[in-house]
Amino acid sequence: MPQLDIDLIEDFLFFAFVALLLGFGDDESEENAIERTIEAQLATFYIATRKTLREESRLVSSSSAVIFNR
């Protein structure tokens, strides 16, 4: 009977080691997905804001050129 216990423990340790290697039960992937989503939203906001500011600065510079040319 003691040999059976040792075999069970060895099997358990083997599968636990394989699970650690493959990342089973690891919540890190969920955290990475959340971080990537947040980074994508921030990048989208940054690009949209930058486009808006460029357009506004182009309008301001063109309007000032029109005002001074009069």
Integer CA distances (angstroms), 27 to 20, 22, 30, in order: 12, 13, 5
Query: Each residue of 8-66: pLDDT tens digit?
Result: 788 888 887 877 777 666 566 777 778 888 999 999 999 999 999 999 988 888 887 66
**Helix ranges (DSSP H) in the chain:** 2-22, 28-69
Count of domains forming the chain: 1
Residue 3 has pLDDT above 80, yes or no: no
How far apart CA 16 and CA 23 sit, in angstroms, is 10
Please give the residue range of the domain that contains residue 8.
2-69
Q: What is the spatial distance between Cα 47 and Cα 43, in angstroms, rounded to a whole number?
A: 6
pLDDT of residue 39: 92
Global pTM exceeds 0.75: no
CA 51/CA 12 separation, integer angstroms: 57
What pLDDT, on a 0 to 100 scale, did the predictor assign at position 52? Answer: 93
